[in-house]
Structure 1
Amino acid sequence: MRPVVAAAGAAGALGLGAAAAAHVWARHVEIHRYTLREVGLRILPPGTRTIRILHISDIHLMPDQQRKLDFLEHLALLRPHLVIDTGDNISSAASIPVLAAALEPLLRRPGAFVRGSNDMFAPMPKNPARYLLPDARPSGMTDPKEPTLPVQELTDRLTEHGWKNLTNTRASIELGGLEVRLTGVDDPHLELDEMPAPLDPEPPLPAHGSVLRLGVAHAPYRRVLDSLAADGADLLLAGHTHGGQLRLPGIGAIVTNCDIPRHQARGLSTWQGVPLNVSAGMGASPYANYRLFTPPEATLLTLRAPKASPVH
């Protein structure tokens, strides 16, 4: 029996070693491997020029996270036509001026945002095991009290150069011949989402006839995605999931922290026939600042018109 016991002990030691290596990688390496994910979609009306949308989410900024700030500043070099921010920007009130400084070149471009829970409430230590529950939200969070973060200060900094605040409302942005009609909701994770009423009357199509409809939310709960798709969105954008934050080879995301299917926890998929991009986001709570097999990211979506049919 001694060889068996020795083999079991060796296997256990290897398992512990692998777990320790994964922890070091997740906590000290991958959390800093900032990545630009690029995807293309042909969803624009025929004859419309190509546009680039930069989708950022879940920055969870602390003021001393210089590598994250450097990545945010680098994103301005992409010169996107439109920036969409799907919330959870900060982890501390002290992060607001630092975030605004890093984002300033992007804030001067056309853009819009929705709020996440960590734009209103400071992060707290949590038991990671609760994310395995059917509803990971702590008791009382669906009936939140007064925000513990300066929401208005953050909103003022994000809107000071023209970004649209999509908190349970609609907005429109003109992009050189393309009218982008946006519909957004407040954080579904806190059940603050209220689908804005349809415009009455519905605005007429512009003379050029080119309209793109975007549905924007922080957390991709099914009820919200259903409502935005039924509202006529051409593209849905959300964040919140961190791509699962911990993923396993062959399994993918272990949890999503909402009710979206795990295989849609990050990246491009479809919902009710509508393209859906769920950003894995750029950060994590300072109390759980690690990632495994899902590096922090921003997404550049290049939208084009359909290919012209060949002439016979």
Structure 2
Amino acid sequence: MEYDDEALRRYLDGRLQQWYLDARLEREPPGGEPVFDSATWAFHPENLRIARAGLRLALRAGGLYRRGQRNARTLRVRHHDLALPGLSDAMSGFRLLQISDLHVDVDPEFGPALAEQLRHLSWDACVITGDFRYRTNGDFTPALSGFEHISRVLQGPVYAILGNHDSIRMVPHLEGLGTRVLMNEGVHLGDDHGRGVWLAGVDDPHFYRQHDIPRALADRPEDWPALLLAHSPEAYREAASAGADAMLCGHTHGGQIRLPGGVPLVTNADCPREFTSGAWRWQTLQGYTSVGAGSSVLDVRYNCPAEVVLHRLVPRPPAD
């Protein structure tokens, strides 16, 4: 697939610093994410092809593969109250749909199937916390085609951030489908009158590490609550330090494959395990890490159902 990076630069002109775009493009791996990243001294076992093949064979031999596929295609809708300090009466009860880790190109049937399930839900705004695609390099057209099915049922404003699987070259295409991608940027969430919520979104903090939380919060109106979108919970310390009140994440898949009792085999995130799924808190920062709607490495899940999350915004008591 050929890319027109000059057209990309023109499209993003005024939104991104030139050095940031250059660094993002330079870091995008031509051959996929490495098993060992010499830039950060990080080991990524999920990128070992032989490990994926071996796991698939083992599951098939044990008669568990089809069961895992059925699990991965069974979506759970979770409801969560997200408490924000200083939330206005007008924004209390605002419903925010969070979708994470679609990896929509893993299974061509996934996009239409998820769209059909979302058709029965209702929300005020939607956020997508990264990883639209499974592949980390090459042609992203299959992921865009799959997401197009989903985008048709996403009512209201839709905001997204990029994950470690996503190329910045996808941004014009995603925005052409009605999804505003936040790249170290923020927007006003709510109506145009009175006090709202500052919705900030940053680039991937796991692999690309081009996230800039202070920049995303820079235009936040005084005393407005700030809700941050970050692909991985690994940015929790920086988020709290920068003054974010809450953070919505994904990336971990909750382990995707868990032992009985809910113990994940792998979370692929440098943070406390309790931050890798569901609601959590660190100092004054409220967090929620979705286990994701899709699957990666293999299209299976065990003891970790796929999910979308309906967050209801509620006021946080002053002493909390």
Task: Give the drift of 1:156.
Answer: 2.2
Q: Is 2:145 aligned against 1:97?
A: yes
Amino acid at match of 1:119: D
Counterparts in 2 of 1:1-312, with a 5 A limit? Answer: 20-26=62-68, 28-43=69-84, 45=87, 47-48=89-90, 49-62=92-105, 65-91=108-134, 92-106=140-154, 108-120=155-167, 151-152=168-169, 154-160=170-176, 163-175=179-191, 177-198=194-215, 204-205=221-222, 211-221=224-234, 224-250=235-261, 252-285=263-296, 287-305=297-315
1:116-148 CA distances to partner (integer Å, 9 max, x unpaired)?
A: 12222xxxxxxxxxxxxxxxxxxxxxxxxxxxx
Q: Confirm or deny: 8 A CA contact 1:54 1:298 kept in the other structure.
A: yes
- Structure 2: tracts of 5 or more residues without a match: 1-57, 135-139
Higher relative contact order, structure no. (Cα contacts within 8 Å, ≥ 6 residues apart): 1
Task: Give the drift of 1:280.
Answer: 0.6
Task: Give the drift of 1:46.
Answer: 5.2
Q: 1:161 to 1:21 in 2, by over 3 A?
A: closer
What TM-score comes out, normalization by structure 2 length? 0.69
**Distance (whole Å) between structure 2 residues aligned to residue 96 and residue 77 of structure 1:** 23
Task: Give the drift of 1:55.
Answer: 0.6
1:250-280 CA distances to partner (integer Å, 9 max, x unpaired)?
A: 3522221011222332111112332211011
Q: Percent of pairs identical after alignment?
A: 29
Q: Confirm or deny: 8 A CA contact 1:172 1:181 kept in the other structure.
A: yes
Q: 1:110 to 1:178 in 2, by over 3 A?
A: farther
Quick check: 44-53 or 238-247, which moved more? 44-53
CA RMSD of aligned residues (A): 3.1
Quick check: 173-182 or 96-105, which moved more? 173-182
Quick check: 87-96 or 236-245, which moved more? 87-96
Q: Confirm or deny: 8 A CA contact 2:189 2:197 kept in the other structure.
A: yes
**Distance (whole Å) between structure 1 residues aligned to residue 225 and residue 174 of structure 2:** 23
**Distance (whole Å) between structure 2 residues aligned to residue 281 and residue 251 of structure 1:** 15
Q: Confirm or deny: 8 A CA contact 1:58 1:239 kept in the other structure.
A: yes
Q: Confirm or deny: 8 A CA contact 2:111 2:147 kept in the other structure.
A: no
**Distance (whole Å) between structure 1 residues aligned to residue 217 and residue 184 of structure 2:** 16
Amino acid at match of 2:67: W
**Distance (whole Å) between structure 1 residues aligned to residue 190 and residue 260 of structure 2:** 43
Amino acid at match of 2:258: R
Q: 1:235 to 1:197 in 2, by over 3 A?
A: closer
Indicate the residue corresponding to 1:147 in structure 2: none
- Structure 1: tracts of 5 or more residues without a match: 1-15, 121-150, 308-312
Q: Confirm or deny: 8 A CA contact 1:30 1:291 kept in the other structure.
A: yes
**Distance (whole Å) between structure 2 residues aligned to residue 46 and residue 234 of structure 1:** 14
**Distance (whole Å) between structure 1 residues aligned to residue 216 and residue 274 of structure 2:** 34
**Distance (whole Å) between structure 1 residues aligned to residue 218 and residue 266 of structure 2:** 42
**Distance (whole Å) between structure 2 residues aligned to residue 201 and residue 34 of structure 1:** 36
Q: 1:33 to 1:105 in 2, by over 3 A?
A: closer
Amino acid at match of 1:217: A
Looking at CA atoms only, which structure, 1 or 2, has the larger radius of gyration?
A: 1
**Distance (whole Å) between structure 2 residues aligned to residue 118 and residue 200 of structure 1:** 24
What TM-score comes out, normalization by structure 1 length? 0.71
Q: Confirm or deny: 8 A CA contact 1:114 1:218 kept in the other structure.
A: yes
Corresponding pairs, count? 253
**Distance (whole Å) between structure 2 residues aligned to residue 46 and residue 64 of structure 1:** 42
**Distance (whole Å) between structure 1 residues aligned to residue 63 and residue 217 of structure 2:** 58
**Distance (whole Å) between structure 1 residues aligned to residue 163 and residue 231 of structure 2:** 6
Task: Give the drift of 1:213.
Answer: 1.0
**Distance (whole Å) between structure 2 residues aligned to residue 185 and residue 266 of structure 1:** 20
**Distance (whole Å) between structure 1 residues aligned to residue 111 and residue 126 of structure 2:** 18
**Distance (whole Å) between structure 2 residues aligned to residue 303 and residue 96 of structure 1:** 30
